[in-house]
Structure 1
Amino acid sequence: MSEFSGIKVLIVEDEGFVALMIEDMLQDLGCEVVASVAGLKEACSVAATAEVDLAVLDINLGGEQSFPVAEILLERGVPFIFSTGYGAGGLPTELSGSPVLSKPFSAKTMQETLSSALGLTLRR
């Protein structure tokens, strides 16, 4: 049984292949992907209403930034991870402490970042 079993995750990613890769990684860890959305408007809507324990947010969604989604999740107390090719330097000041997965990332890096975002201690 994984420490991530049953964790409900929202994926916000506009690149189909990357979204599928993230979905596979999360499912391999035991997570349940509740939704995978590509656009900012839909992501905001899902983030405001879906029952999720965590979200993985691509920062750049077809030229729009996902920071409004992060703000909604913050208000709801839902932890999130930014997934980006730009590194942590691309975050606005109010979100600068957020966990960041730098693309490309491995399943091990995903697992470590998930643990950190959820406040779990990894079993070695």
Structure 2
Amino acid sequence: MTVDGLEGLRVLLVEDEMLVCMDLEDMLEQFGCIVVGPAARVKQALDLIEREALDIAVLDVNLGTERSYPIADRLSARGVPFLLSTGYAEVEPSYSDRPRLQKPFSDQQFARALTDLRAARS
């Protein structure tokens, strides 16, 4: 199910839960996106940001004992829009204005959020 406007987008995927990560990868590929990563740790994601061309990113807020905020900051500095994905309602106040998807979410919700994110970049 390719989604108009998402085909060929290079999406950094940051997620530490293996099963969730596999589901998100599958959805992104079905939408026509190119998955960059995935990364499960902050350092791994920061390295990918330095090496890869990115259009948008999907960041799990909680990465084990780490939080993805340093990744968000680096993406912001580079002008790459991102979506926060979390199973928890609380996000640090300085990121509360960022697009967010509450886990679990459907493929339709995910596609809509990515389409909105891409539109915001244009």
Q: Which runs of 5+ in 1 are unaligned?
A: none
Q: How far did 1:63 drift?
A: 1.5
- SS of structure 2 residue aligned to 1:97: coil
Q: How many residues align?
A: 118
Q: Which runs of 5+ in 2 are unaligned?
A: none
Sequence identity percentage:
42
Q: CA RMSD in A?
A: 1.3
In structure 2, the CA distance between the partners of 1:86 and 1:118, relative to structure 1 (3 Å rule), is: same
Q: Which runs of 4+ in 1 moved over 3 A?
A: none
Task: Name 2:113's counterpart in structure 1.
Answer: 113
**Contact 1:13/1:58 (8 A) holds in 2:** yes
Higher relative contact order (CA 8 A, sep 6+): 2
2:51 and 2:92 map into 1 onto residues whose CA distance is 24
TM-score between the two structures when normalised by the length of structure 2: 0.90
Q: How does 1:74-113 map to 2 (within 5 A)?
A: 74-87=76-89, 90-113=90-113
**Contact 1:48/1:72 (8 A) holds in 2:** no
The residue type paired with residue 94 of structure 2 is: E
1:40 and 1:49 map into 2 onto residues whose CA distance is 14
| Correspondent of 1:33 among 32, 35, 38 | 35
